[in-house]
Amino acid sequence: MSSQPFFHWDGDTLVVNVLGTPAAQRDAIGKPRGHQLRVSVTEAPRAGRATDHMVRFLAGEFGVAVADIEVVFGRKNVNKQLRIKAPQRLPAVFAQREMF
């Protein structure tokens, strides 16, 4: 059990720390690394486009609208924090780590 999980709940909002990998082979949610979740996207890291692509990809994975995902920080950085409002589903990596 990690002392710093990669996510926590703020009411019905899921707060996720992300380590992004731009220009990857495919869009994918990876395994946690420390207190961050690895997320790979195919978009190149130019002018925040990889982050925008990541938000669109994750919206589908969590069953929410793109507007329900806020990039708290890290829009142009691999280290990010996202707030996902009322996710309709959780990818398997979250179910394995549900500690609260």
What confidence tens digit (pLDDT) does each residue in 13-27 have? Answer: 999 999 999 999 999
Instruction: Specify the pTM.
Output: 0.90
Per-residue pLDDT for 2 more than 70? no
Residue that the structure tokens 């950085």 belong to: 77
Three-state secondary structure readout of the chain: CCCCCCEEEECCEEEEEEEEECCCCCCEEEEEECCEEEEECCCCCCCCHHHHHHHHHHHHHHCCCHHHEEEEECCCCCEEEEEEECCCCCCHHHHHHCCC
Domains of the chain: 7-87 (3.30.1200.10)
